[in-house]
Amino acid sequence: MTTPPTSDPSRGIVGDRQLIAVQPFDIARLTAHAVPIVPETFVAVSGLGPKDDSNGSGKTSFLIAVSLLLADPQWRLETNGGRHASGILFRPDAAGVDQAHQASPVTHGYIVGVFAHPDEPAANPLTVWVRIATTTPYLQANWTEGLHVADALTDHERSIQADALWRELGTRQLLSARTMAEKLYGTAPRCLTYLDTALRPPVPSLLSQQLTEMEPHDIGRSLIALSGMTPLLEEEDDLRGQALQHRISLEKAQTEHTQALLAEEQVMSGVRARETARLALQRGHEAWHRYLAASYRDAHHSDQRVAALMEEERQAAETAAVLVQDAENRLNSLGSADELATQRGAAHQEWSDARQLVGELSRKMTELTTQQAMLRNRRTTLLPAAQGWDGSDCTATAARLDQRQREHAKAEVQCDEAEIAVTRARTHLRDVEQGRSGQAGRAIDLLGEHRIRAHGLLDQLNVDEAARPEWEPRLAPWQDAIVVEPEHEDTARRLLHAALPGAQIISSDTGQKALPEGIHSTLNVTRFLATLQQRLIPSSDGLAVRDQALALTVTGGFPTALAGRKAQLRQARANLAAAEQACTEATEAMTAATAALTLAQTLHAAAQAAEELAHLGTQENDLQAKIDDLASRSANAARDEQEFQQVWQEAVARHASHKQLLTSAKLTLEAASKALKERQRNLAALERQREQVAAAQWQQQWGATLEDATRLLDQTSDQTRSSRPAALRRQSEDQLRRAYEHYGVDGTPGADVSQDLRTGQEMMQSFADTDPVGLPSLTFADVAAPLDNRLAGHRDQDEVAAARITHDQHARQQAIAELTDGVATSARNLETLQDMIEKHLDGLFAQISAAFHDLDLRSDGHGAKLEHISIRPQGAGDWQWQVIPRWKRSRSGGYVSYRENANSAQVKVHAILLVLAALLADSHTQGRVLILDELGNSLGEVNRKDMLAALRDVARDQHLTILGTCQDSVLADAADVCGELLWFVHASAADIINQPTSAWAFDSNGARTQLTEDWITAGRAHA
């Protein structure tokens, strides 16, 4: 079946074809005989009921069926799904059938219509089927090209044939109640009716001939619908909805942008605080760097100054030594005691040797002290890394790290496998939902590509709970079996032979037969199931079934139901839930393994740091022993120096008393020696002062040259330039304190601070209490390390957050700009469309008004017109076209509103005239049907004839079909003008259904009558 071509998509699949015949099945008391319809005529509908008049004859039921077939908008199928339509099905109580007949109400019925083009009826006719049911779905439609109708001889046979014909249509082109009107007939209504029926809620309408109850905007909308212009308003409503949605989207985007800015500001405040802390630390590092440079520069200058003084003192000491030597030479030249002179010289030599030893020991002590300071600095660096050490050695932590790495890799594999299982379970659930699971699903899809319908056996079978132990072992081997119609068995076998070897194909029964007890299905597989039941006999213990001929035993005991889509869906959903739970557990295990791996890496690094700290401790102990030994030796050497000095002084004294003659020389020698000693004492003091300056240690702390220090201090900006080390050290301390405060650590007692930051605070206090002049025992890097580590850990996250927020803000601003442009564009497009529609509908109402006036004059009226006002919608409401019909009641009188008090016959006449005027203004009425119930009852004889003639003329001129029910008083007049008379007979209340419907008509289109002749005459004995 293919979609027939149509030149105008707004006319739907049926297009310009006209309804030429209708066949009802189980609709009220109507028979299943086909009823011919002559298009482009006024068709009078009447009959004979049990009370010898037309009441109760079934004519209204037939018109209801036609209105459903043509999707009359007043059924509101798009909102209620056809729920009200089920009331038209045959029900014995509603039909007044005597209980003695024991008639049962039907659960479903059909209305079939055949449509054909007026020029070439046999070229491409179309058959539409509408199925009505008492349960959901209440109403469905299907269609096919050509004649697809029931033509059996009896009503019962035609009803059975109808079910088979409906199934043959398949589901490919199946239409729901909500879509059938637009798909079949297009956007303009194909049928407009007034039906006096309680099956659907009453709606005031021009066709209901209740004109005075309608508001002006309801009249306007009805005229627009009659003229086929409703799609214009629907297009405007859609475009207006889009414009409104654009405005809503813009407001929503602006609101979300404002809310996002608040949330992002909270994040950015933390990012800025940490960035400020980083900047403070950076400034602190820079100030500390400048502090070391300034300290080294000042120490170097002091060292140079002291060195210059020492050089002066050394030269003075050399001069004094020369004077002493001269005095001694002069004394010796005067004659001296050899022994005293020898003693004095020996004592002096011993004293000099002792002084040299003291100097050497002092230099070695300085070297060892410097090495000790370097080891302490290394310890300070390693302490934070070893903070989390748990006492394990490096071998143990390395083994633990290796184990955690293997566990982490295993968890990754398990997590991937769990995700694959979830994907497989979802795929299986989707296949079960579509009836396409397993190999049976692949076979169904393959056959469906060749337009062969097939069903999975177990998908369409339902087994009662009590029958499961007996039937599930029988059905287990057939889980992949499919069921096809008998005529498709050979084709299915050939298709599946190579594509799906081993496929199991079951041919359905030709007729509907009762299934075994406990089995329910829409499939006709009674023969297959009965054979299984006959061959596979339950065992005595009820745990298996056995085929004696094959010596085959199939065990049961299935934990869940094996057959039926609902059971398979429950199992598939349970499997998916289990797979998702396993995936969640695997993900949690993966998270735990990642945390364990991170902890193992941290502990291994701490163990390595602890091992190096232990080695440093050994070195420090060895070095301290050497320092202690040197200190002891230095003390001994100092005592020896003092003793040798005393010996020398005593030797000099003894030698002084040697001769009176030598007194002057002695005095000279003593004075020179005293001057020499003074110089030597000054030189020693300068040496101690130079050691206190510690220029070498400051250079080691600085780590660069004097030129680098000078260059750094000279390059500093004026705002931060300072040459005093104490000021620079205070700057570094202030920046360090600010950094901790910006990070949220302000030193508040009892605050919840982590151990590393608490250690940093304590080190910062010790750092602040250190003398800024002496060599630092704690460096800035040592104190800033905990916070530096924290900020380094946040750096990447902060950069990502800042970049993401910047990107998101730009994207939102760009989206808001685009939405703003979209709102403006939508508003312009909407205004353009509204201007076009307003101009078009102004012309339409002018045409209807002119036709209304002409029809009124032709029916002996005095003139009529329409007044209309367009009220454009400002929001989501409907566009109202307020239309007020007015007509003259006398030749010289003025135009009177339709709501002015008047006789009901005059209002009814003008209501019909208004409907006809709207139809005359429509240029696309071919194929449309107008249904009027209880036509002409309240009209006078003259008005009745005029209205009937007008209906005939409009039907002919506009190529539409008008069906009107006629009571006995109207029938004679209707017979004079109608192109067809349909006669319904329900002669007696004792009859369950009507007699076959009679039709009197003449259709000049012979090809059209030949197309449906066999069908129309089928089952009619008199035909």
Instruction: Give residue 669's Cα distance to chain centre.
Output: 106
pLDDT of residue 5: 37
pLDDT of residue 42: 93
Identify whether the C-beta of residue 541 lies closer than 8 Å to the C-beta of residue 532: no
Once rounded to an integer, what is the mean pLDDT over residues 873-898? 84
SS (H, E, C) 418-440: HHHHHHHHHHHHHHHHCCCCHHH
Burial class (CB in 10 A: 0-12, 13-18, 19+), 640: middle
CA angle, residues 23, 25, 26, in degrees to nearest 5: 145
DSSP assignment letter at 87: G
Identify whether the C-beta of residue 937 lies closer than 8 Å to the C-beta of residue 969: yes
pLDDT higher for 402 or 750?
Answer: 402
pLDDT of residue 19: 96
Instruction: Give residue 125's Cα distance to chain centre.
Output: 48
Q: Residue 688's closest CA among 133, 309, 213, 142? A: 309
pLDDT of residue 71: 92
For 575, the 3-state DSSP assignment is helix
Number of helical H runs and strand E runs in the chain:
25, 23
Measure the CA–CA gap between 437 and 104, rounded to whole angstroms.
39
Strands 42-48 and 961-965 turn out to be parallel
Cα dihedral 948, 951, 953, 956 sign: negative
What tens digit of pLDDT does each residue of 288-332 get? Answer: 778 777 777 887 888 888 888 888 888 888 888 888 888 878 767
Within 8 A by CB and 6+ apart from 976, the residues are 945, 948
Once rounded to an integer, what is the mean pLDDT over residues 820-835? 86
The token duo for 374 is 């370097």
For 118, the 3-state DSSP assignment is coil
Burial class (CB in 10 A: 0-12, 13-18, 19+), 496: buried
What tens digit of pLDDT does each residue of 935-976 get? Answer: 655 565 657 777 788 888 888 887 889 998 887 778 888 888
Q: What is the full DSSP assignment across 627-695? A: HHHHHHHHHHHHHHHHHHHHHHHHHHHHHHTS-STTHHHHHHHHHHHHHHHHHHHHHHHHHHHHHHH-H
- The alpha helices in 130-229, defined as continuous H runs, are 155-168, 180-185, 216-226
Q: Is the pLDDT confidence value at 718 over 90?
A: no
Strands (E) located in 26-65: 35-36, 42-48
Q: How confident is the model at residue 128 (pLDDT cuts 50, 70, 90)?
A: very high
What tens digit of pLDDT does each residue of 134-157 get? Answer: 999 999 999 999 999 999 988 889
What tens digit of pLDDT does each residue of 322-340 get? Answer: 888 888 787 676 655 666 6
Within 8 A by CB and 6+ apart from 900, the residues are none
Average pLDDT, the chain: 82
What tens digit of pLDDT does each residue of 581-640 get? Answer: 989 988 988 898 898 888 888 888 888 888 877 887 888 788 888 888 888 888 888 888
Q: Is the pLDDT confidence value at 1022 over 70?
A: no
For 237, the 3-state DSSP assignment is helix
